[in-house]
Structures are given as C-alpha cells and as structure tokens.
Structure 1
Amino acid sequence: MDFTRPETVLDLANIRDELVRMEDSIIFKFIERSHFPTCPAVYLKNDPRLPLPDFEGSFLDWALIHMEITHSQLRRFESPDETPFFPDKIVKPILPSINYPRVLAPYAPQVNYNDKVKTLYEKEIIPLISKCDGDRPENYGSVATSDIEALQSLSRRIHFGKFVAEAKFQDDKPLYTDLIKRGDIDGIMQHITNSAVEEKILQRLIRKAEVYGVDPINNQNERRITPEYLVKIYKEFVIPLTKDVEIDYLLKRLEYP
C-alpha cells in the first residue's frame, strides 16, 4: 500500500486486499512459532531462569524493546500503519523523515491496543500454536524472535482498523457523524460489522491453513497449524480487537474536521 497516495489508502477495496495479504504473513509467523514449545519463562516478569540486570519485565519485553529501538532508528514507526508496543522507548530515526500525507486524524497514534494484543498473544494464542507445553532453555532466543515477528504482524493487522474506520467515515459522513454525536457505540458496531465479509475471511483462513499447515512432502499427517485454531484466533481475538480499534478511532473523529 502506497501511503504517499491517500486516495488509494482509503479505498476499501485496497484495504481489503492488504488485509488478505496480512493473513499470509500471520499464518507463516504462527507456523514458525509452532516449531517450539510454549516456553513460559520467556513471558514471566523477572523470571530467575532469564536474569536481566537493571530491567523490570519479561525476557520478551526486553527483546521487544530493544528491537523497537532499532526499528525506530530505521523510521519504522513513522509509517502510518505501524504501532509500537513500547511507544515511550522508541527514538528518533537516523534516516531522513518521510513526509507522508495525512490520511488519519492526528490522534491516530494514541489509538494503541498493543497491550491487549500482547496479553492475548501470550495467554491465549501461544498455547494454541506452540508445538507442545514445556520449557526448552535452548529455544528462548528463537522463541522471542518468532514472537516479536508474530506480534508485529498481528499489531499491524489489528491497527489497520484505523484505516477501515476512516474509509467508512469518509464514505458516509452523515451516518457516522450522527452515531458519534449520540455516542451510539452499538450503532457504530452494527454499521462497521459486515458478517458476510467476516465469514469469507474465516472460510479463506480454513483453506489457507489446510494448504500451508502441512508439509506436502514430509510428515504429511503432522499439522503445524490447524484450521480450527486459526479460525478461533481470528474470530475471538483478531476481528473483535480490530473492531475495538475502529470504534475507539471513530468516537474521537468529530474533534478533527
């Protein structure tokens, strides 16, 4: 998606195409993570198995902060579609800034659901996509690396709800203006929900999991990610969180003409 061309960014057809491409990224990140056990030590704050001097948090927090510092220096978080997990830790880029045209309202960066994304990932998604329960100290680094990539892909997908919300607002300003003025969250939810599109997403995920989830040459009966779990992740976590992002964004939208 070309963020230097606002007319293409707020095209709902282009947004849907981008969301479809994100599905592949998320699935392959999950498959990569599925090679390892759950490794609970990676997610526990100040776990003695992973001592981190002068740091309060989990090993994953430590790794993610350092990764985001590096990525911010490469101007990753200047892109409108990227949302940091630790916005207070990122630094200025060493590369020249890109003056992206304004597509979203100025408060868009404050619509940040990454705390929820990370909590759900650790508590709900990891048990579904891991190879098995248990701890393998030799895998800690690989697990954290895979987790970071999966979290970043999930975050980008969920926060793309801001673009969906802006596109829908622009498409029918009178409707959404009325709903926002009345604070009608149920009404907003009703109008941003497209059950037919959501069902297509779930059916597409089933087909992709059936194709991508099995090695076609070796271990044909060993499934690395199941359609059931992938649908559960999207239906119970990804789609609802995306809608939360859309509603949160829309409720403030009238503050900025």
Structure 2
Amino acid sequence: MSSSRKNNKMWGKMGDFPCSACYVFHCTTVFPRLTSDEDQLCGHGIALHGLGIQEQKTQVWLIKRHLFRPPKSGDIHLPSMDTAIDLSDASKALDLASIRFQLIRLEDTITFHLIERVQFPLNQTIYVPGGVKIPNSGLSLFNWVLREQERFQSLIRRYESPDEYPFFPDALQTPILQPLDYPKILHPNTVNVNDEIKQKYIEEVLPRACRQFGREDRGETQENYGSAATCDVSCLQALSRRVHFGKFVAESKFQKETDKFVELIRAKDRDGIDEAITDAKVEKKVLERLRLKAKTYGTDPSIGADGHEKINVDAVVAMYKETVIPLTKVVEVEYLLQRLDGTQWKS
C-alpha cells in the first residue's frame, strides 16, 4: 500500500467529522507536519493556532474522547452544527435532531459570550436604575443598552423570526427590510419568560461567573461599563433564544405523542406534562458536555491545561442546571397548556 493511501486510511474521511475544521484538527494533531499556519475556529470549539504538536495535545484527549469517537449505531449526522435551523420549513424546524443540534450550537454561543463578559468586573452599578445618568431615561444603563439594541435590531427584522423574543416589545420598530414568509410552526401562545431570565442572569449567573478583581467599583470614568453592558446584551439574547426553543421541542413532542399530551393538557396536569417532557439522562449529558466546553474554550492552548481558566466552569454548569434547563421546561409546560386553545381538542 502506498504511503498516501495508508495515510488517507489513518486520517479517515471528512464526512466522519462534524465539520471540515474538526477534520483538519484531527489530521494536524496526528500528523504535526500538517499543522496549519492559520487560526481557525469551528462551532465545535476546535481551535488551530499553528502550534506545535505537544501544545495541541494539552486538550486533545478531551476533544478526541467526545468528538472523534467511532460512529455508533443510531447516530445522526448533520453536515455541520454551524448550520442554522431552517425556519422556512415547518417539518425541518420541528425535527428533533435539527433542534438538538441547534441547542448544542447555542451552548457554544452562550459559553463564548459569557467568556467575553467575565473579562470585566460585575459592575453592579450598571444594573441599578439611575446608577448611571442617562438623558431622558430612568432605566439602568444595562436596560437602556438592551432596549436600544432591540429597537435597532427590530429594524433589520430580528424579531420577525419565530425563535426570537424581545425583552422590550414596546421598543420594536417596523422593519426596513421586506418581511420573510415564515410558515406556521408554533401554535399561537403568550409564553415569554424573558423577565425571569434577566433576573436570574443579573442576580445569580453574573455574581458566580464574574471574577473578583480585589477592588471596589471605581465608577463610570474608570470601569468598562459600556463594554460590560454590551456583552450582557449578547449573553441575554442567546439565553432567551435557547430557553424559548423549548416551544419547538414541546410542539415536536406534541405532534409525536398527540393523544398522550391532549389527555394531560385537558387535565391541566402540570406535573404529568413536566414528567413527560423530562429526560434526566439527556439533561445529565448536557451538563457534562457543557462542563467540557467551558473548560476547553476557557483554556488558552498555548499555555496548556494547567493554565489560568478564562471562566469559572462551575458557574457555567450552574447557569444551565439552575436557570436554562428549569426555565426551558417552564416554557415547554406553559406552551403545551395553551396548545389546545382554538383546536378541535378544546373541550
């Protein structure tokens, strides 16, 4: 067998990996002569920085263990987790495999945004109304930035999408872009837990995640209030999207087991609905995967696994365990309780 054919067999096929960057990382790890000189980052957290083989190996055992295992029977392969869910096709939007990959992709987004946020101190002042004086507004700096961002983004159609929910609906403007023709995917409902997400983010997530810099808040002229608030907006919007994706999960499950859920909904059996939508094994895997991601993304590969972590890994896991997962289930239950309204099942 030629050397080329032998190496190709060892490398495997690109289709065996979630995306091309993962495949390249696999090859560069096994064969240092192929190490890329360019920085790359894919949605699975695989970073190539043109480093030597020993430096790359600091975390490769983690990555190989979870991403490069041989395919198992029943595995579902999608071309890339970076592919956004197709909201123009109701059947694709409600496909559980597609939803699952989108939720995994959002784990990456949320983790990266939180890593960006914890570069700065907690800066409690920006969450206090009047803490920073804003002309013609009594909002906190954080809420003002969030409201203005939503106002602007509504102009370019962000909140026309069925998977986006504003924190300030009153701020939305008429889009300057022509509307997209979305099919009917979700049943009409009023479920919105953004207030709860924001409260938990400010009162629980940030105090755990933000580092203590060993100093008092130095005030508006010396702290990065604007940068912190900007990062907060990105974090909150991603968290909101992740939590409200529970509606898609609930609708998919309802369509799959309609009779079962109709009976539970008619009985207003919240506990029964909660039990029907809960999969403890999946939740455990989510937390394990999130811990791995937070540790991997939060460690500089040029320093090694023993280097300083950019983020408190336990805080990231706690955010999902105590906020994201519980609120997602609230969304699912509340959505399902409204699912029969205006239908033939309503008695």
Bin of the TM-score, shorter chain as denominator length:
over 0.9
**Which amino acid counterpart does residue 318 of structure 2 have in structure 1?**
K
RMSD, matched Cα: 1.3
Residue of 310, 314, 320 corresponding to 1:224:
310
* Superposition deviation, residue 218 in structure 1: 4.3
8 Å CA contact 1:36, 1:132 repeated in 2: no
Counterpart secondary structure, 2:164: coil
Once residues 53 and 243 of structure 1 are traced to their aligned partners in structure 2, the CA distance between those partners, rounded to angstroms, is 39
Alignment match, 1:19:
103
Alignment match, 2:289:
204
* Superposition deviation, residue 128 in structure 1: 1.6
Alignment match, 1:89:
171
List aligned pairs for 1:65-214, cutoff 5 A.
65-107=147-189, 110-132=190-212, 134-136=216-218, 137=220, 138-214=223-299
Alignment match, 2:324:
238
* Superposition deviation, residue 130 in structure 1: 1.4
Matched, 1:38 2:118: no
Identical-pair percentage: 46
**Which amino acid counterpart does residue 229 of structure 1 have in structure 2?**
A
Provide the aligned length of Structure 1 versus Structure 2.
253
8 Å CA contact 1:105, 1:256 repeated in 2: no
8 Å CA contact 1:34, 1:130 repeated in 2: yes
Once residues 236 and 182 of structure 1 are traced to their aligned partners in structure 2, the CA distance between those partners, rounded to angstroms, is 28
Unaligned runs of 5+ in 1: none
Spell out, residue by residue over 1:64-99, the C-alpha distance to the aligned partner (whole angstroms, 9 max, x if none).
111000000000000011000001211110100111
Once residues 203 and 253 of structure 1 are traced to their aligned partners in structure 2, the CA distance between those partners, rounded to angstroms, is 32
Extract structure 1 runs of 4+ deviating beyond 3 A.
none
State the TM-score, normalizing by the size of structure 1.
0.95
**Which amino acid counterpart does residue 133 of structure 2 have in structure 1?**
P
Looking at both structures, which has the greater relative contact order when contacts are Cα pairs under 8 Å and sequence separation is at least 6?
A: 1
Unaligned runs of 5+ in 2: 1-84
Spell out, residue by residue over 1:11-60, the C-alpha distance to the aligned partner (whole angstroms, 9 max, x if none).
1111111100000000000100010000011100111xx10122122111
Once residues 228 and 118 of structure 1 are traced to their aligned partners in structure 2, the CA distance between those partners, rounded to angstroms, is 20
Once residues 173 and 107 of structure 2 are traced to their aligned partners in structure 1, the CA distance between those partners, rounded to angstroms, is 30
Higher helix share: 1
